[in-house]
Amino acid sequence: MKLRHIRPFRYALKLLTLTQKHLWLILIAFFIASLTALGIFGYRFLLRHNVNPQELLSFFGSPIESLDSTGGVTNFLVLGIRGEGGDSPNLSDTIIIVSYNHETKTPSIISVPRDLWVPSLKAKINTAYFYGEEASPGAGIKMAQAAILEDLGLPMNYTAVINFSLFQQAIDLVGGIDVDVNPGFVDTEFPLPGREKALPISSRYEIISFNQGINHFDGATALKFVRSRHAEGDEGTDFSRSRRQQQVISALRTKILTPSFLLDQKKVDGLLKIISSNLITNIPSKLYPTLAKVALDTKDNPVLSIPITDTPDNNGVAILYTPPIAKFNGEWVLIPKDNNWNALKQYIRNRLSTSP
């Protein structure tokens, strides 16, 4: 009896010793099996989203070899439009330039005021995409890119036109975002969708408020946060809206670029479905692996924010100002100080050259 008890114990000990001795072989085998499973999943994933598996190799190369660029910089124009169901669905409520420096692997964000005047259009820059689409469906991107080049001197390599519902759905998909609200504010005239002509006038609006400090937003609340325009003081300006938009984009970016999200096939598929339903772009799908590489390369890098405002900077200089409305069709617009567009372009170049 005693011997029968000892022998199993010895066998177990021997097996344990053998396992420890060859642990590295077991780990390698497990690793190879995992890679095989990942490869099968990845292949099916790429086929589902019309990305040629051969194009995945661009993920391992240098992005500058695949992306169009000017002087080592690739510029992306992001237009946020209201979309169907609202008044003037093709007006650009949000205009953001993401400038990626390939050498420093640093992104810079430029929030363009939607009231910036475009001399050749004789209209505000937020109408460029609208007028392009009115002239010829599909021409809106080209006209918006031309307006940016005219005003800021920056050639746009790629453009993405995003329906605002994309942000709302994406934020809900990641479980909401945390945003540091500073300062808090109240907007007593936030427009209610579909009630633009309702009477009495007060029924067209709702009151929204945000407390100072860290706030957890779902998609609908985040959208109100970035679109609010009628708060008292500085928070009612378009410049504050631009700052809030950057906060929300940054918070969403942080949530998406986490292992828990990227390794969740269901959530990644959900995000791609949301994007495909709410995105108009001239970025070919073959560049998606390259853009994924750029996103990961910049994950921990600082993002340079370049303001274009009528607020004086640290040197007391304001790059924009509001001219008399009588000279601009009775509209409240923004133009460079002294109407010097070259100075505005040089300001942008100087700020981009100081990126870390």
Continuous segment of H or E residues that includes residue 159: strand 158-163
- If you average pLDDT over residues 183-208, what whole number do you get? 88
Where would I find the H helices in 178-330? Answer: 219-227, 238-256, 259-262, 265-278, 288-297
pLDDT at residue 173 is higher than 50: yes
Which amino acid makes up residue 250?
S
Q: Which of 172, 257, 244 is nearest to 208 (CA)?
A: 244
Computed over every residue of the chain, the mean pLDDT equals 81
Distance in angstroms (rounded) separating the CA atoms of residues 219 and 285: 26
User: What's the pTM value of the predicted model, to 2 decimals?
Assistant: 0.72
Phi, psi of 5, deg, nearest 5: -75, -35
Integer-rounded Cα Rg, in Å, for the chain is 26
pLDDT at residue 16 is higher than 70: no
Query: The dihedral of CA 228, 347, 116, 252: what is its sign?
Result: negative
Q: Which of 134, 131, 127, 129 is nearest to 145 (CA)?
A: 129
pLDDT at residue 53 is higher than 80: no
Q: How far is CA 240 from the centre of its chain?
A: 17
Q: Which of 257, 228, 108 is nearest to 170 (CA)?
A: 257
pLDDT at residue 309 is higher than 90: no
Confidence of residue 51 (pLDDT cuts 50, 70, 90): low
Give the position of tokens 């959208």.
223
Distance in angstroms (rounded) separating the CA atoms of residues 287 and 270: 20
Confidence of residue 212 (pLDDT cuts 50, 70, 90): very high
- The residues of the chain that CATH labels 3.40.630.190 are 63-353
Which two tokens mark 84?
A: 């169907």
Query: The dihedral of CA 31, 34, 38, 40: what is its sign?
Result: positive
Confidence of residue 154 (pLDDT cuts 50, 70, 90): very high
CA end-to-end span of the chain, whole Å?
Answer: 75
Distance in angstroms (rounded) separating the CA atoms of residues 180 and 248: 10
Q: Which of 304, 285, 287 is nearest to 350 (CA)?
A: 304
Give the position of tokens 């936030």.
190
Q: Which 3-state string (H, E, C) describes 130-152?
A: HHHHHHCCCCHHHHHHHHHHHHH
CATH architecture group of domain 63-353:
3-Layer(aba) Sandwich (3.40)
Of the candidate ranges 55-64, 175-184, 250-259, 340-349, the one whose mean pLDDT is the lowest? 55-64
Residue 206's pLDDT is what? 93
Distance in angstroms (rounded) separating the CA atoms of residues 346 and 151: 11
